[in-house]
Chains A and B, each alone.
Chain A
Amino acid sequence: MKIVEISHVSRVYKVGDHEQKALDDVSLELESGKTIVILGPSGAGKSTLLNLLGGLDSPTSGTIKIKGKDISTLNADQLAEYRASGVGFIFQAYNLIPTLTVLENVALVKEIAKDPLSSHDMLREVGLGEHMYKFPVELSGGEQQRVSIARAVTKNPDILLCDEPTGALDTETGVMVLKLLQSMAKEHGKTTIIVTHNQNIAKMADVVVHVKNGKIKEVINNDKPLAVEEVEW
């Protein structure tokens, strides 16, 4: 089943009088349940693509369909609803709420998601059962990213969007986080889209999308994705 259908999408930013094309007539279709890695150098437009998919931003032209529904014409409230149930975000900087405990950070999404999972279960699943009542600052970076994963999955979305999820972590922790991400996605049947400039991560993907200068250079289907452990870091 096609979960993502992007057709002729452009995103133009205006900086003063100057126009900057972050995405230039991009079309892309992605299958449900796969792990997709979007690769490219910085400034290629991969984060813009991710933001559009996540409903954080709207395209200047073109359509984006998620599960057949066009999200490019939604208003602010409808976009919020889409973000609340349709996608889960995992950021490089975790973006946890510092004034809420680990559990509260995760449980927070239950107030808005349509069909959320148990936040307790999810925290146990990511191995933070012991740290539920701590505040984010009391956790290490890897642990914080795990909270962020738990928060994203608890919403029970169709798609997990990860923006350089290991960017702020050392290799060892990064591998653990990726492993967790892969297993969570498999177990809960989520489509995972990871944006990165790290070539190695691409080896674990079902599909690798190369982006450069606001255009999709090539889409490579990987028949034999490696397990995280098998990738050489």
Chain B
Amino acid sequence: MLFKKLIRTVGRYKAQFISMIIMVALGIGIFLGFNIEWKTLEVNVAKAFEDTGFADYRIMNERGFSAADVEAIEKIEGVTAASRFLSVTVPRKESDDLLALTITENPAVSGFKVIEGEAYDSEDAEGLWISERYAKENDLSVGDTFTMVYKNIEFSGPIRGLVKSGEYLICLLQEGQLMPDYQKNGFVYISPAYMKRVIGITFYPQINVRSDLDKDTMIAKAEEALGKTYMVVDKELVTSYSEAHGEMEEGKTMAALLPVIFLAIAVLTMITTMHRISISEKTQIGTLKSLGFKDRRILRHYTTYGVFIGLIGTAIGVGLGFLIGYMFVNPHSVMGDYMDMEHWELHMPLYSIAVIVAINIFLILTTMYSVASMMKGTAAEALKPYAPKAMRRMWIENKKAWKNLSFATKWNIRDILRHKSRSFMTVFGIVSCMLILIASFGINDTLNSFIDDFFEKSMCYQNKITLDIEQASNADVDALIEKYDADWCAELGIQIGDNAYSMQVYSLDHGYYQFVKGHGEYISLPEDGVLICERIARKENLKVGDTVSVSVYGTSEKYDLKVVDIAKSISESIMLSKSYADNIGMNYQVNELFTNVMEVEDSPFISSSQSKQTVVDTFNSFIYIMFLMIAMLVIIAVILGVVVLYNLGIMSYAERYRELATLKVVGFKDRHISRILIDQNIWMTVLGVALGIPAGVGILKILLVMLAGDYELSLTITFTTYLISILLTFGVSFFVGLMVSRKNKKIDMVEALKVAE
């Protein structure tokens, strides 16, 4: 019999039950979705690295390593495998496409996995193993002939296999490139035999190492084995590893921030709703008690509601979580545009199961507590309807101004203060809605301004020419500068202490390059010192006026540089003018030209050219993905706002039913009563919006630091963002207010004012 009651009670409170289920589902769904995102990446990226023997360390020597060197490294205790390795960026013949031409002596280190075609054969001096992704994008298949040209040497041969490699998990081959372009970039593996056939020699400037040793031990042992100090780069500095792990970290950060807000809202909604349902069920609870049902039985009966909501909410939430996870991470998502990975199966972290179980237990406990508090005492006490706290006079009422307030205002103020938890939840719901809107639109604004600052405005040239510094003499470079009427830049690898950075010397007579100080704020290079980027300033603890000592990588040159200003930069760089570099007697070699000339003639001194437009275009997919995420967050924020506010609205409506009926009996029109309710709604919304704006800006700041500390983004929120967020939030609040107040017409005065039994 109680089961029948259970079903009917669910029907009676269907708005509340549905909103609780939605909140639990949203909370769990978002929590799970965000966690699935990073866990899926973690598992599948690790698999990709493991499958293809991704190297833990790279030992660098521009002059090349001998076979004895690699043997010595392999003998180090703690080294699993080592391989001499070469990777050079080479254009495809008669095309702008760039490919990383790669040779690894030992295919177990920094190798590849064949997806289609023949297995690798180190004796094969003819064939190529090409990036599967690039092949698919360019309609290449096994057996086709593929040709690249490097320094007038053709590398050509039949494609033996389509492959994937951890080394090129995120295939970024150009400076300043943020998104890989698998249509234009890829990689090609050839065997050492192939290299020997084509160039006559083998040359390996790198030994890649698989090892569990920590970096310091590795450096020390490598030095011992090779008898000389070489630069050892650990995997943290390799794009594929660092970017992929950056994505996971971002995912973890997001998972720790946004879902928590949703879970908190879900939990709070559950508490308040359950409490309110128990209140209105109090006489029923009392009736059951007086009929002789034991407390335990009644408790069990009501706890079923919690279980019911929990199970349905969890089921929907888990489905939603996997859907969200899939939206973020699948081969056709932005993540798929970013990473070239074989496996994309979804995985969830174990603790998310624990969290889901905990939420359900909490829901049950909340239900039990709410019911138990209504059941206290004797059956007679339980039978009495719930008595809300008595009104007391508030300090505010002693003020003169109070007397002049309209009845509606007084009623609203008292109503808000009397139902503090409900008012708090309402404001909390609005704040959350506002916060998510501001933060999501703000991310969009910030990224747009980032692109605007660093690409549209900072790069004032149309075309960038990269020189082949090994081929070009100073005279050749000067001739090219004149020919293309170019500004130029010379890039040097430097170290401050043990940390590697980049340093650029600029000659900017045409003003083809500007340095970003803040959003829309540009500075030019000083004559008497250097600009450093924010990250170097932070890591090396430098401020304006300090002197920083740098040593140029690969040489014994050291310079003391005066920090004149701090700028924003995409790469970790120190930037200085030609005149300052010349003053302090710095050696440099020009390697990039900035020009407005679009047609670049073939020249042995030029390795590639890249138009500004290409760079800007690579952002389009990036922006598109952001747009999708933002659209999702905005939709969720709106759903959240509607559900929380509607739920509260319905509950408060039920609580005030008698009062509203009295007003109606006394002669207030429906419109008038609606206005009172809507007034209160507006106050709460104004308060929520006022609190939501700083909260949103705060969250956005945290997000930017955590997610994009690498890009030195300047927080930007446009007026439109504020306007849209405010309008949307008010829209939600107003819409819900109308839905609730429409019910006024249905108030049954006769029924409402019957003597409470």
- Residues A83 and B391 in contact, CB atoms below 8 Å apart: no
Q: Does A175 contact B (CB under 8 A)?
A: no
From known contacts A56-B750, A76-B670, infer whether A168 and B755 are also in contact, taking CB-CB under 8 Å.
yes
Which residues between 103 and 156 of chain A lie within 8 Å of chain B, taking CB atoms? 104, 107-109, 111-113, 133, 135-138, 151, 155
- Residues A135 and B390 in contact, CB atoms below 8 Å apart: yes
Which residues between 52 and 86 of chain A lie within 8 Å of chain B, taking CB atoms? 54, 56-57, 76-77, 80-85
**Whose C-beta in chain B lies nearest to the C-beta of A91?**
B753
Task: Spot the interface stretch: A24-32, A92-100, A187-195, A201-209.
Answer: A92-100
> Would you give the shortest CB distance from A194 to chain B, in whole angstroms?
16
From known contacts A83-B667, A100-B414, infer whether A51 and B407 are also in contact, taking CB-CB under 8 Å.
no
A interface footprint on B651-669 (CB within 8 Å = 1, 0 otherwise): 0000000110111111111
From known contacts A93-B755, A98-B391, A99-B391, infer whether A51 and B750 are also in contact, taking CB-CB under 8 Å.
yes
Tell which of A92, A95, A107, A138 touches B665, judged by Cβ atoms closer than 8 Å: A95
> Would you give the shortest CB distance from A171 to chain B, in whole angstroms?
18
Q: With A and B bound together, what is the CA distance between A95 and B659 in angstroms?
A: 8
Tell which of B418, B753, B756 touches A99, judged by Cβ atoms closer than 8 Å: B418
> Would you give the shortest CB distance from A157 to chain B, in whole angstroms?
9
Provide the main secondary structure of the chain B interface: helix
- Residues A80 and B669 in contact, CB atoms below 8 Å apart: yes
Q: With A and B bound together, what is the CA distance between A76 and B746 in angstroms?
A: 11
> Would you give the shortest CB distance from B679 to chain A, in whole angstroms?
14
From known contacts A80-B667, A167-B755, infer whether A95 and B391 are also in contact, taking CB-CB under 8 Å.
no
Tell which of B390, B666, B745, B755 touches A83, judged by Cβ atoms closer than 8 Å: B666
From known contacts A56-B750, A76-B745, A80-B667, infer whether A111 and B756 are also in contact, taking CB-CB under 8 Å.
no
Give every chain A residue within 8 A of B750 (Cβ-Cβ).
Answer: 47, 51, 56-57
- Residues A81 and B665 in contact, CB atoms below 8 Å apart: no
Give every chain B residue within 8 A of A155 (Cβ-Cβ).
Answer: 666-667
- Residues A112 and B672 in contact, CB atoms below 8 Å apart: yes
Q: With A and B bound together, what is the CA distance between A140 and B424 in angstroms?
A: 32
Which residues between 628 and 648 of chain B lie within 8 Å of chain A, taking CB atoms? none
Q: Does B415 contact A (CB under 8 A)?
A: yes
- Residues B666 and A109 in contact, CB atoms below 8 Å apart: yes
Q: With A and B bound together, what is the CA distance between A133 and B583 in angstroms?
A: 86
Q: Does B410 contact A (CB under 8 A)?
A: yes
Q: With A and B bound together, what is the CA distance between A32 and B335 in angstroms?
A: 83
Q: Does B411 contact A (CB under 8 A)?
A: yes
Q: With A and B bound together, what is the CA distance between A137 and B667 in angstroms?
A: 23
> Would you give the shortest CB distance from B658 to chain A, in whole angstroms?
7
**Whose C-beta in chain A lies nearest to the C-beta of B666?**
A109
A interface footprint on B714-757 (CB within 8 Å = 1, 0 otherwise): 00000000000000000000000000000001000110011110
- Residues B663 and A104 in contact, CB atoms below 8 Å apart: no
> Would you give the shortest CB distance from B495 to chain A, in whole angstroms?
72
Which residues between 413 and 434 of chain B lie within 8 Å of chain A, taking CB atoms? 414-415, 418
- Residues A100 and B665 in contact, CB atoms below 8 Å apart: no
Give every chain B residue within 8 A of A97 (Cβ-Cβ).
Answer: 411, 659, 662-663
From known contacts A51-B750, A57-B750, infer whether A95 and B662 are also in contact, taking CB-CB under 8 Å.
yes
Q: With A and B bound together, what is the CA distance between A99 and B669 in angstroms?
A: 20
Give every chain B residue within 8 A of A113 (Cβ-Cβ).
Answer: 667
> Would you give the shortest CB distance from B404 to chain A, in whole angstroms?
12
Q: Does B406 contact A (CB under 8 A)?
A: yes
Q: How large is the interface on B (under 10, 10 to 19, 20 to 34, 35 or more residues)?
A: 20 to 34
> Would you give the shortest CB distance from B206 to chain A, in whole angstroms?
78
- Residues B667 and A92 in contact, CB atoms below 8 Å apart: no
Give every chain A residue within 8 A of B661 (Cβ-Cβ).
Answer: 95
From known contacts A56-B750, A95-B658, A99-B418, infer whether A137 and B391 are also in contact, taking CB-CB under 8 Å.
yes
Q: Does B539 contact A (CB under 8 A)?
A: no
Which residues between 100 and 136 of chain B lie within 8 Å of chain A, taking CB atoms? none
- Residues A92 and B664 in contact, CB atoms below 8 Å apart: no
Interface centre among A51, A76, A95, A138 (most CB of B within 10 A): A95
Give every chain B residue within 8 A of A91 (Cβ-Cβ).
Answer: 753
From known contacts A97-B659, A98-B391, infer whether A104 and B407 are also in contact, taking CB-CB under 8 Å.
yes
Q: With A and B bound together, what is the CA distance between A85 and B197 in angstroms?
A: 107
- Residues A89 and B407 in contact, CB atoms below 8 Å apart: no
- Residues B665 and A77 in contact, CB atoms below 8 Å apart: no
- Residues B667 and A107 in contact, CB atoms below 8 Å apart: no
Q: Does B4 contact A (CB under 8 A)?
A: no
**Whose C-beta in chain B lies nearest to the C-beta of A157?**
B667
Q: Does B483 contact A (CB under 8 A)?
A: no
Give every chain A residue within 8 A of B659 (Cβ-Cβ).
Answer: 97-99
Give every chain A residue within 8 A of B672 (Cβ-Cβ).
Answer: 112
- Residues B756 and A138 in contact, CB atoms below 8 Å apart: no
- Residues A112 and B668 in contact, CB atoms below 8 Å apart: yes
From known contacts A138-B390, A167-B755, A168-B755, infer whether A89 and B410 are also in contact, taking CB-CB under 8 Å.
no
From known contacts A97-B411, A99-B659, A100-B407, infer whether A135 and B391 are also in contact, taking CB-CB under 8 Å.
yes
A interface footprint on B386-397 (CB within 8 Å = 1, 0 otherwise): 001011110000
> Would you give the shortest CB distance from A92 to chain B, in whole angstroms?
5
- Residues A104 and B410 in contact, CB atoms below 8 Å apart: yes
Q: With A and B bound together, what is the CA distance between A47 and B754 in angstroms?
A: 10
Interface centre among B418, B661, B755 (most CB of A within 10 A): B755
- Residues A89 and B666 in contact, CB atoms below 8 Å apart: yes
B interface footprint on A169-205 (CB within 8 Å = 1, 0 otherwise): 0000000000000000000000000000000000000
Q: With A and B bound together, what is the CA distance between A112 and B672 in angstroms?
A: 10
- Residues A95 and B753 in contact, CB atoms below 8 Å apart: yes
Give every chain A residue within 8 A of B391 (Cβ-Cβ).
Answer: 98-99, 135-137
> Would you give the shortest CB distance from A106 to chain B, in whole angstroms?
11
Give every chain A residue within 8 A of B756 (Cβ-Cβ).
Answer: 93
Q: With A and B bound together, what is the CA distance between A54 and B753 in angstroms?
A: 13
**Whose C-beta in chain A lies nearest to the C-beta of B756?**
A93
Give every chain B residue within 8 A of A99 (Cβ-Cβ).
Answer: 391, 411, 414-415, 418, 659
Q: With A and B bound together, what is the CA distance between A99 and B515 in angstroms?
A: 63
**Whose C-beta in chain B lies nearest to the C-beta of A135?**
B391
- Residues A111 and B418 in contact, CB atoms below 8 Å apart: no
Tell which of B407, B415, B664, B755 touches A108, judged by Cβ atoms closer than 8 Å: B407
**Whose C-beta in chain B lies nearest to the C-beta of A88?**
B666
- Residues B407 and A111 in contact, CB atoms below 8 Å apart: yes
Q: With A and B bound together, what is the CA distance between A104 and B411 in angstroms?
A: 9
Q: With A and B bound together, what is the CA distance between A51 and B418 in angstroms?
A: 31
> Would you give the shortest CB distance from A91 to chain B, in whole angstroms?
6
- Residues B667 and A81 in contact, CB atoms below 8 Å apart: yes
**Whose C-beta in chain B lies nearest to the C-beta of A83?**
B667
**Whose C-beta in chain B lies nearest to the C-beta of A112?**
B667
Give every chain B residue within 8 A of A167 (Cβ-Cβ).
Answer: 755
Q: With A and B bound together, what is the CA distance between A138 and B414 in angstroms?
A: 16
> Would you give the shortest CB distance from A168 to chain B, in whole angstroms?
7
Give every chain A residue within 8 A of B390 (Cβ-Cβ).
Answer: 135, 137-138
Tell which of A51, A77, A93, A151 touches B669, judged by Cβ atoms closer than 8 Å: A77
- Residues B749 and A56 in contact, CB atoms below 8 Å apart: yes
- Residues A80 and B418 in contact, CB atoms below 8 Å apart: no
Give every chain B residue within 8 A of A56 (Cβ-Cβ).
Answer: 665, 749-750
From known contacts A76-B670, A99-B391, A99-B659, infer whether A83 and B665 are also in contact, taking CB-CB under 8 Å.
yes
> Would you give the shortest CB distance from A102 to chain B, in whole angstroms?
11
Q: With A and B bound together, what is the CA distance between A108 and B756 in angstroms?
A: 24
**Whose C-beta in chain A lies nearest to the C-beta of B412?**
A99
- Residues B665 and A89 in contact, CB atoms below 8 Å apart: yes
From known contacts A97-B659, A111-B406, A135-B391, infer whether A84 and B665 are also in contact, taking CB-CB under 8 Å.
no
**Whose C-beta in chain B lies nearest to the C-beta of A152?**
B666
**Whose C-beta in chain B lies nearest to the C-beta of A161?**
B665
Interface centre among B392, B407, B664, B756 (most CB of A within 10 A): B407
Give every chain B residue within 8 A of A112 (Cβ-Cβ).
Answer: 666-668, 672
Give me the 7 closest cross-chain CB pairs, A-B, nearest first.
Answer: A84-B667, A83-B667, A99-B414, A135-B391, A80-B669, A137-B390, A95-B662
* Pairs across A and B, CB under 8 Å, 11 listed: A76-B669, A80-B668, A85-B667, A95-B658, A97-B663, A98-B659, A99-B415, A108-B407, A108-B663, A108-B666, A112-B672
Q: Other CB < 8 Å A-B pairs besides A80-B668, A83-B667, A112-B672, 11 of them?
A: A57-B750, A76-B669, A77-B670, A80-B664, A98-B659, A99-B414, A99-B659, A100-B407, A101-B393, A108-B407, A112-B667
